[in-house]
Each structure stands twice: as structure tokens, then as C-alpha cells.
Amino acid sequence: MEGPKTSRKKESLHIAIIGLGYVGLPLAVEFGKKFQTTGYDISSSRIKELKEGEDSTLEVSKKNLHQPNLRYTDKPDELKECNIFIITVPTPIDEDKNPDLTYLISASKLVGKCLNQDDIVIYESTVFPGATEEICVPLLEEESKLTFNQGFFCGYSPERINPGDGSHKLPDIVKVTSGSNKTTAIFIDQLYGNIIKAGTYMAESIKIAEAAKIIENTQRDVNIALVNELTMLFNALNIDTQKVLSAAKTKWNFLDFYPGLVGGHCIGVDPYYLTHKAEQEGYIPEMILSGRKINDGMAFYVSNNILELLEKEKINTNKANLLLLGFSFKENCPDYRNTKVLDLKNELSKNLKVVDIYDPWIDKHKVLKELRIDLIEKPKKNFYDVIVVAVGHKIFKEMSTNGFSEYAKEKYVLYNIQNSFPILNVTGRL
């Protein structure tokens, strides 16, 4: 058989979204507007909150959570009536920075048990080129007892969700699609075309689509690493990095990147998937690894920079109290996966008396349960020797210098990591 039955009518399609996080939930909602859709997540608490009309990721509004054709479940048996499966589970790295495919493998086995003749499985999770066909497909075959490209078919359409970005929602971002053969590729491309206003781009193969996704974030990582390294250099030369960047970006083709901590579930993770595959093939990707080394070391650099400023201002580090403003991995977003603010806290805690973290975007009870980090409810007044703006949340941008000084002692250091907004009379800045 060349591919799935392209004559399927819209009403015969039943789409299952596996994983209802930042990627899966918006996808389930959009498909739920036009197709029979089942949103599945292994977390019963996640399903409970969605059924109650709440989304802790803040990616979907309350009014959009309930669609006429959409239901939420944590029961695997309810997936057996579906015929299109879209897998959107996390693909993190382990402590040694190797790909952790635990969620992907579990999801593939789960879906494999539900497959019937002519069903389609589409992966959106970020992986290294070849992972879908080399790792996932054999699991689907084993669990379903069906043959790939005869009994069932696959595709890959990489997610491009940008958490906290209200201007670039799922329908507004061009969707790369692919399929395990031409008929399947066309079917999948047309399927996504029903919900993506920005249009689709059909890649020639699954491997090309996988590679296209992973270089998007690798490119950003390398560019940020360059700016981070330039910042270290300009600091050593006593030159204001922001003023240099402002001057340089007057040229039309200058790439507009800024220094900072590089965390999150994508930029700080995806390059390791690509380097893992490269090293398997005997190729050492020097530039990518160099960029990762620089960005992974930024928390250590910033910590040392702050300590040097304290010494310069003759503030005793052993008795110093520090306030970190922001804990999420990016601004105006509750997502704290792989946040490098945690690395910064750990570095600073080695030398300072108190390191408090305040972030109004974050569920402090969830952080305490998952990471055993106790975020403060509110900063103490007249208490801190150092205030560090770690994340450029809008609420922090709107604070004047007086707003910061409310929490500080009479003499204090104000340090802005991203330098994403101006502060007057700053003692220290990156």
C-alpha cells in the first residue's frame, strides 16, 4: 500500500494529541475546533485542571479550552478509537547532557498498542535526525504487530511554540511537515493546513524535517554564545556592551542578539541532540559545542562578576543578602524548565548569606515540590545588599529605581543581567 486512505472524510478522522503541555494543548485546541480530538496526558492533575477550565501554562485562554469536538483524558483505552496520533512529549537531556528519550519511548509504546490498519503517527517532539524512523518506528511495529508503511504510516512536523509569546501563536507560525512516503506527506500537510493560517512547508523527508527543527535553536544558541563572549570581552575592556550593540545594529544585516542566561526546554537542550548524533557518526561539531560551553558557563561568570562588584563596593559577601528577580527561563512566562537562574542561585549561595528568589509569574508551591526551591512570596523591605534582575518580566521593567531601592539597604548593588531596560545609577551591570 502506498499510503493511508486519502479518501477519508473529515468526519471519519479522530485525532489524538499525546502530551498536553506547552506544545500539545494549543494543538489539541486548534484541531478540536474542526476535528474529533482527544487530548491525552499521563498526569491526572493536568487533565483535572483542563477539564475545570484552567491552564497553568497560560498558553490557552479559559474560553478556548473547551471546544465542541475536544475531550481530555488520562485513560489510555480512550485512545483506541483514534486514527491519527500526534506525539508532543518532552525530549530533555540527562545529567550527562545526553538525549533522554524516556518520554518519547513510552509514548511510542502507548500509541503502538492503539494502532489499527492505515493509522498515522506524527511526531512533533524535537529529536536528532533519524530518531523517528530509527527509534520510534520499531517500537510502533513491535507493539502494534503492523508493518511500517504498509500497516501504519508516520510523519514528523516539528513544534515551533514560543512560550509566553502572544504574537506568534500556533496558527500564525509556518508549519514544517513531512511523511514516511509521498502520499502520507501530502495527507499530513493538508491535515495541518486546516489549522495553520500561516501556511505549511512540506519537507522532502522526515530526516530533513527533524534536522530543520534542531538547527533553528542551535543557530540561536551559537549567536547568543557569541554575544555572551563579546560581553565578557567588553567588560574586560570597560566598554558598555549595550552601547556597542546599539551602534552595530544600525547596519541592516546585523543580527540582533543580546547577552544573558540561556535556559529553557529548547535552546539549552536541542544542540546536545544534534551533537549526540554527530558524535555517533564520528564528527565533532566544534562550534556548536563551544557555544554550549560558553552559555552553560554564564551563571558562573555572572556570579563571579557580582562578587567582584561587592568586593569593589566593600560589601562583606559572607553577610550579604541578595535578591534574584525572576526564575522562569524567559520573560513574561511561567515556564521554568531548565532555568539557568537556578544555576545562578546555586553559585551565589556558596558565598552569600541569603539568596532570595522572587517571581510573580511562578507557582511557588510547584517549584518547591519539584525542585525543593522555596521562592519568596514578596521581597523584604530595606533588606538586600544586591538586587539582580535575572529575567526581564514586564513587571520588573515597569519598576523605577525607587521601586528597586524599596527592598534594598542604603548602600546596594543593582545588577541587570539582560540589560533589557535602562536603570539609573547602576553600580553593576553585565
266 is catalytic: yes
Choose, from 82, 114, 136, 266, the residue flagged as catalytic: 266
SS (H, E, C) the chain: CCCCCCCCCHHHCEEEEECCCCCHHHHHHHHHCCCEEEEECCCHHHHHHHHCCCCCCCCCCHHHHCCCCEEEECCHHHHCCCCEEEECCCCCECCCCCECCHHHHHHHHHHHCCCCCCEEEEECCCCCCCHHHHHHHHHHHHHHCCCECCCEEEEECCCCCCCCCCCCCHHHCCEEECECCHHHHHHHHHHHHCCCCCCEEECCCHHHHHHHHHHHHHHHHHHHHHHHHHHHHHHHCCCCHHHHHHHHCCCCCCCCCCCCCCCCCCCCCHHHHHHHHHHHCCCCCHHHHHHHHHHHCHHHHHHHHHHHHHHHCCCCHHHCEEEEECCCCCCCCCCCCCCCHHHHHHHHCCCCCEEEEECCCCCHHHHHHHHCCCCCCCCCCCCEEEEEECCCCHHHHCCCHHHHHCCEEEEEEEEECCCCCCCCCCCEEC
Active site residue ranges: 266
